[in-house]
Amino acid sequence: MVAFASDRMGRRLPFAILAGIIAIVGLAMVLAGGKNYDLKYGGCFLIAMGLYTCMPVLVCWMSLNFSGHTRKSVGTAFVIGFGNIGGIISSYIFPNTDAPDYKKGLGICIAFTAMAIIFITLYFLRLCQMNRKKQKIEYQDKWASRTPREKIMDGDLNPDFRYLY
């Protein structure tokens, strides 16, 4: 539903931020749930709903803002690779000694999800800045002076290419 709605609206930012907020709410429910297992169980659904939605939206958003095969493949691989580091980190932030509450691990997850929302917002601001920069005559003149090969390799830097939000 999120993929359909974000494609329909042509916007990824609000969906990525909303998914991150949903994940934080779920993580907070599990963290603060104590012996209320119903609350913790409901939090698990929100965590999955938020995190499993956010990553595909981000991968799609990032890949849409790269032009050219090389830039798109390297950029997308970097985003997916960086996102999968969580599997390595999780074994260290959820040690068995913290069972059954795993307060440290859940706190770190909340912090990283909040940090992701901050970085998503910074990415959005950078895209806005780049779109404004591309409209300037100086930028367009500099682009026009490039060789055809440079233009192909740096396709998303083309003044006619608009970064999507």
Distance CA 149, CA 165 (A): 28
The rounded mean pLDDT for the chain is 93
Whether the predicted pLDDT of 154 surpasses 90: no
Distance CA 134, CA 39 (A): 49
What pTM, to 2 d.p., does this model score? 0.89
Q: Which two tokens stand for residue 29?
A: 């429910």
Whether the predicted pLDDT of 139 surpasses 90: yes
Q: Which two tokens stand for residue 161?
A: 């290419």
Cβ proximity of 37 and 20 under 8 Å: no
**How much is the CA Rg of the chain, to the nearest whole Å?**
20
